[in-house]
Amino acid sequence: MAVWKPFPRQEFALQRNEFEILYGGARGGGKTDAGLVWLTDYITHPRYRALVIRKNADDLSDWSDRAVRFYSGFGATIAYKPPTIVFPSGARIKTGHLKDDQAYTKYQGHEYQRTLIEELTQIPDERRYKMLLASCRSTIPELRPQVFATTNPGGIGHQWVKKRFVDVGPPNVPYTDPETGLTRIYIPATIDDNPLLNEVDPSYIRFMDGLKSTDIELWKAWRLGSWDTFAGQFFQEFRRDLHQIKTYLPFKSNVIVAGMDWGRTAPFACEFTEVKVVNCEGIKFFRATTFAEVYGTDKTPREWADEIKKKLKLYNLTITDVSWIRGDPAMFTKGNDKSIAISDQFNREGIRIKRGSNDRVGGWTNMHSWLSIAPDGLPYWQISEGCPDLLFELPALVHDELKVEDVDTTGTDHASDAIRYMFKSLKWIDAKAGAVYSRPPVPLLQKTAEFIGDKQIGIDLKAFETLSPMGIPYKTENVGAVIHP
């Protein structure tokens, strides 16, 4: 039997004691082999139980075939439905895939001392990951529970994985969760950490490097393991340094509009946006700035109406300062029991909502346009830090595999849906092409702001850099603005 020898990066990962280990980042870093070896630590213990999770049945079948070859030298056999690796000691490695309708609940109450999750970013959200995490535990002192996950940037769960493992600290440095006291670590690996692949298949290296000239974003993700951009990202034009700004207070003299996505157990989202007219060297266009959001679950329309009014008050606004709100069309349908429509329940609380458009593809197309760069060098649409859920969701959206013009709805997209309803009713003006918006919304004809002077064109980013000690934005001076009644 050939002896497997780890490469330095693999060896570092296999020696870690943290409860959660995320290994990988780029393609070709030896992730699968590292996971196979990691599972063998306790295979001589008769009570050892491990769980392996893959995206779908085909991926699971491929992994099982590879596992049988890998573990044959240990005397392992395989039983199917589902594939289970059985060792002479009685130790077992059970497998499952995420396409199973009960993938995230079927293991509740089970005990697995080790859990291997291949392609972690295929899990849509952190909540479902934690459901799997709950079964990784041990009542046997000598068997220490641990999770080993592998992935490349991208996929429906890209953003939450990045936030949980990559953004919490430097790579290769343990992080302790302040809520649970459990530790985790991110260990990046690229094809450069796999000298065997370089030796055996140099054409693969050339293929990866060739992507740089044909698909720079794919090259960054696959070759470098970059988490800032990734294959399959829906809004690749989003750049945090341009589209995200500090929290600020809008002006009542400008137009305030909003979008709303209804949810009771699923998240509810309401996003508020200030719209103004910018004059850049004689070219006029709209600039939209989403400045506040209300987001959460398990509240009635009356309770959400109160939350909306409280949030607007923080920005020195009332609901009467909002020109219109476009909402999820489902909110306008009465229940089978003839109950009052959600929209009517909001209307009773003074929150008047107009029906939004169900044209998903058209709505996303509008958002692509709003994210593009205006003639003054800034995006047509910017988002303040007062909208953390929108800023979390938007860059994480991925293409639907069957309808690439649409967003994959498996993940979290409620704040983005709210914005989509809004932008579908707020047409984008192609200022570069000199297009004229023939039917502007009535409120935009009634009250607009025109910015003049080189330093006051569009949004003055420096004006948004201060927050009060309680996190409430300060009112900024509207220097250089001429208000039209």
User: Residues of the chain with pLDDT > 90: what percent?
Assistant: 48
Residue at which a domain ends, from 187, 222, 257? 222
Other beta carbons within 10 angstroms of residue 471's beta carbon come to: 10
Q: Which residues of 47-75 are buried (b: 16+ CB within 10 A; e: fewer)?
A: bbbbbbbbbebebbeebbeebeebbeeee
Q: What is the pLDDT of residue 411?
A: 73
Tokens of 26: 């780029």
User: Would 234 be classed as within a structural domain?
Assistant: no
DSSP 8-state code for residue 164: I
The model's pTM: 0.66
Closest CA to 315 of 138, 147, 464: 464
Whether 155 has a pLDDT exceeding 70, the answer reads: yes
pLDDT at 275: 94
Task: Give the model's pLDDT for residue 30.
Answer: 79
CA pair distance 446, 138, nearest whole angstrom = 66
Q: Is residue 297 part of a domain?
A: yes
Query: Would residue 155 count as lying in a domain?
Result: yes
CB 300 within 8 A of CB 340: no
User: What is the reported pLDDT for 402?
Assistant: 78
Q: What CATH number has the domain bearing residue 67?
A: 3.40.50.300
Helix locations, 251-387, DSSP H: 301-314, 342-348, 360-371
Task: Read off the tokens for 144.
Answer: 């220490």
Number of domains within the chain: 2
- Which of 222, 249, 278 lies at the terminal end of a domain, its last residue? 222
pLDDT in tens, 39-98: 999 999 999 999 999 888 777 888 888 888 889 889 999 888 788 999 999 999 999 888
| Residues spanned by the domain of 92 | 8-222
**Does 438 lie in the same domain as 338?**
yes
pLDDT tens digits, residue range 194-208? 666 666 667 777 777
Which amino acid is residue 326, in one-letter code? R
Residue 469 has pLDDT above 80, yes or no: no
Residues 326 and 445 in one domain: yes
For 102-163, the DSSP string reads TTTTTTTT--BSEEEEESGGGS--HHHHHHHHTTB--SSTTS--EEEEEE-S-STTHHHHII
**Angle between helix 31-38 and helix 57-71 axes, rounded to 10 deg:** 60
Percentage above 70 pLDDT, the chain: 82
DSSP-derived secondary structure letter, 248: -
